Amino acid sequence: MLNSLHQRTLPMPVILLTDPIDPTEARRLEAVAQVRLLGAEGVGPLAEEMSMADIVIVRRKIPAEDVVGANRLRALIRHGVGLDFIPVETASANGIAVTNTPGTNEQSVAEQVFGMVLGLRRDILRNDTQVRAGAWDGCRARALDRRDLHGATLGLIGFGSIGRAVARIAHFGFGMTVVATKRSQSDGPEWVRLCPLDDVLSTADILVLACPLTPETRSLISREALAKMQPDSILVNIARGPVVDEAALADALRDGVIGGACLDVFTTQPLPPESPLRSAPNTVLSPHVAGVTADSMRRMSQVAVDDALRILSAEQPRHLCNAQAWPEIAKRWATYAT
């Protein structure tokens, strides 16, 4: 059971969950802390709850002003990998640790990539709809235009843990050639060719975005970038929505500049009714669930809870993301011991 407000008289630390985590891991927290779930009965709005919390486990965007006003807060633990939900600079300036859960969802994301690509490239979704409608012969006639993944080229923009998982499945599972671009052109396996961005854009049959959202990657897939892609290529975005100029992508899909798109993330989420991507041809749209399975949730929760327990013991967390701020973080934590 989540702790109710009247139980706050107990001398226990408070851990706020912005969203549910794995139940088994939540029970580990409940043994040592008052665990409060945002949106549960008797739980207040985010800013109010953060002002009373020692740790927040994060699965949604945290406003910087709420961090500044959280005088008890020791850490923001990202239940996931990307840190764009967390104002890291503000947390660091206020002596608050920021952690994440690396290596916990890359397999789930990578599997989703190929599920979406096969659904589009092999017409699986449309075939299902049309077979149910009785259009058997039309489906079989279209199959003659479909292509195997074997022998095709998969391009990656970003070659971190998720990019590497996608690359392994592409190369060893489907026999694809893999090309990639990353900030450092070193440390790639021999079966991946690391090359400049323009080469990846122009050679990829399947282009997968697996890069973090930074000032350099925002709108990286612009109208000009799309024009460099092959006319039958498929763009897959499992990074962040703003990496893609969505208006330019919708135009490119309608005009046949590229062959299709598989999108799990969007600039505005949920995807607005007026988004041109809703009516763009040859698209598979997914509601930001590539990294969400029962298995990945369990892994993310376990890593997050492990670090939460370390933090409650005043130990440096294993997955500290703002290590440069550790002296200020340690100083802030020391005040809790007095």
Domains of the chain, start order:
5-103+294-337 (3.40.50.720), 106-285 (3.40.50.720)
Tell me the pairing of strands 153-157 and 97-99.
unpaired
Gap between the Cα atoms of 268 and 287, Å rounded: 11
pTM summary value: 0.87
Gap between the Cα atoms of 242 and 244, Å rounded: 5
pLDDT at 7: 42
Q: Using an 8 Å Cβ cutoff, are 104 and 81 in contact? A: yes
pLDDT at 188: 81
pLDDT at 165: 97
pLDDT at 22: 97
Q: Using an 8 Å Cβ cutoff, are 24 and 300 in contact? A: no
Average pLDDT across each block of 10 residues of the chain; the chain has 338 residues. List them in order.
Answer: 42 94 97 97 96 96 96 96 94 98 96 97 93 92 92 97 97 98 78 96 98 94 98 97 98 98 97 97 96 96 98 96 97 78
Phi and psi, residue 116, nearest 5°:
-65, -45
Q: Using an 8 Å Cβ cutoff, are 288 and 261 in contact? A: no
pLDDT at 186: 63
Gap between the Cα atoms of 278 and 266, Å rounded: 11
User: Within 21-105, where are the H helices?
Assistant: 23-30, 46-50, 64-68, 88-93
Average pLDDT of the chain, as a whole number? 94
Gap between the Cα atoms of 283 and 281, Å rounded: 6
pLDDT at 2: 46
